[in-house]
């Protein structure tokens, strides 16, 4: 049975209220959801979800190696943009660098957990996939 993990964009975009049984939860996604919770009750829901998956052994927590690999991927992506820009890095929209780092961290830790990443930010994850072999599926294909 394939194991899945959702990117934050999928949980928000599809208003996920129930997670599949063959699911592992990314601590990075929980951090993103908690940071943007909006109110105390939503924050507590996300923290409760994290605790539940932690106790079940289904929480993917990035390791020190995952952080290093995600950093390398961001470095390689940055060099590629600079090369494509003729030696100058094109300006990124606000927050893009941070989002790509979190996406890289999700991809790296999902690969270690042998989980397929389900995302609505497919192009970003495809860019990461150029440097890291991991399983990926579009949210629209997963929820058909």
Per residue in 78-98, pLDDT (tens digit) is: 888 877 777 777 777 777 778
The domain in which residue 25 lies consists of 3-142
Quick one: which of 119, 135, 132 has its CA closest to 32?
Answer: 119
Residue 1 has pLDDT above 90, yes or no: no
- The residue among 88 and 23 whose pLDDT is bigger is 23
pLDDT at 86: 78
Q: Say whether pLDDT at 75 is over 90.
A: yes
Residue in the structure block whose two tokens are 């106790």: 55
Beta strands in 7-130 (DSSP E): 25-26, 59-60, 115-119
Q: Number of structural domains, the chain?
A: 1
CATH number, residue 88: 3.40.50.1010
Tens digits of residue pLDDT in 26-67: 999 999 999 999 999 999 999 999 999 999 999 999 999 999
What's residue 113's pLDDT?
97
- pLDDT tens by residue, 118-135: 999 999 999 999 999 999
pLDDT higher than 80, residue 21:
yes
Q: Helix 40-55 crosses helix 27-35 at what angle (to 10 degrees)?
A: 170
Burial class from Cβ neighbours inside 10 Å (0-12, 13-18, 19+) for residue 125 reads buried
């Amino acid at each position: 049975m394939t194991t899945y993990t959702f990117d934050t964009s999928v949980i928000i975009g599809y208003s996920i209220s129930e997670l599949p049984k063959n699911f592992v939860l990314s601590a990075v996604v929980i951090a993103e959801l908690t940071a943007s919770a909006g109110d105390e009750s939503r924050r507590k829901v996300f923290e409760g979800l994290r605790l539940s998956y932690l106790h079940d052994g289904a929480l993917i927590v990035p390791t020190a190696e995952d952080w290093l690999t995600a950093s390398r991927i961001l470095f390689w992506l940055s060099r590629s943009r600079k090369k494509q820009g003729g030696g100058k890095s094109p300006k990124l929209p606000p927050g893009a660098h941070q989002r790509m780092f979190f996406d890289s961290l999700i991809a790296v830790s999902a690969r270690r957990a042998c989980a397929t990443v389900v995302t609505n930010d497919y192009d970003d994850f495809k860019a990461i996939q150029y440097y890291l072999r991991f399983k990926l599926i579009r949210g629209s294909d997963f929820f058909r």
